[in-house]
Amino acid sequence: MKFKKIHHIAIICSDYARSKDFYVNKLGFGVKQEVYREERDSYKLDLTLNGEYIIELFSFPEALARLSYPEAQGLRHLAFEVEDIKEAIEELRQKNIKAEEIRIDPFTHKKFTFFEDPDGLPLEIYES
């Protein structure tokens, strides 16, 4: 395989309007495209980070809930790099988003922490 990069991450949310507000208005992702797919009664929102396509946000009626703990099998979390973790945590706090205490990676000695999206998906911020 000659993978070049991760093309996108797909997330199915429980409340489309709430998740769209979270990712767009609170976290600041750009909207590339929003489509309503009538045959599936589903929205698909393509989001960008620094102009690069990165997340597909889906709504599906009656989607089943998924248990999502950092140590459960499956996707563990999504991590975003920041230059100043304290500044990022303060910005989250101002938007009523709670972050955990800052931790230190025992191998890289870099700072990181976690917060959650509206459906409890663990999101990490990692200081570069």
This prediction has a pTM of 0.85
**Same structural domain, 81 and 57:** no
Q: What pLDDT, on a 0 to 100 scale, did the predictor assign at position 118?
A: 94
**1 occurs within a structural domain:** no
Average pLDDT in the chain: 90
Residue 29: name the closest of 43, 13, 47, 15 by CA: 47
Top pLDDT among 99 and 4 is at 99
**Same structural domain, 44 and 93:** no
* For residue 95, pLDDT beyond 70: yes
**39 occurs within a structural domain:** yes
Q: Under a CB-based contact definition with an 8 Å cutoff, are residues 57 and 23 in contact? A: yes
Which 3 state secondary structure label does DSSP give 25? helix
Task: Return the number of other C-beta atoms located less than 10 Å from residue 116's C-beta.
Answer: 16
**70 occurs within a structural domain:** no
Q: What pLDDT, on a 0 to 100 scale, did the predictor assign at position 77?
A: 85
What domain count does the chain have? 2
Top pLDDT among 60 and 95 is at 95
Q: What pLDDT, on a 0 to 100 scale, did the predictor assign at position 67?
A: 67
Domain that includes residue 99, residue range: 75-128
Burial 68-88 (b: 16+ CB within 10 A, else e): beeeeeeeeeeeeebeebeeb
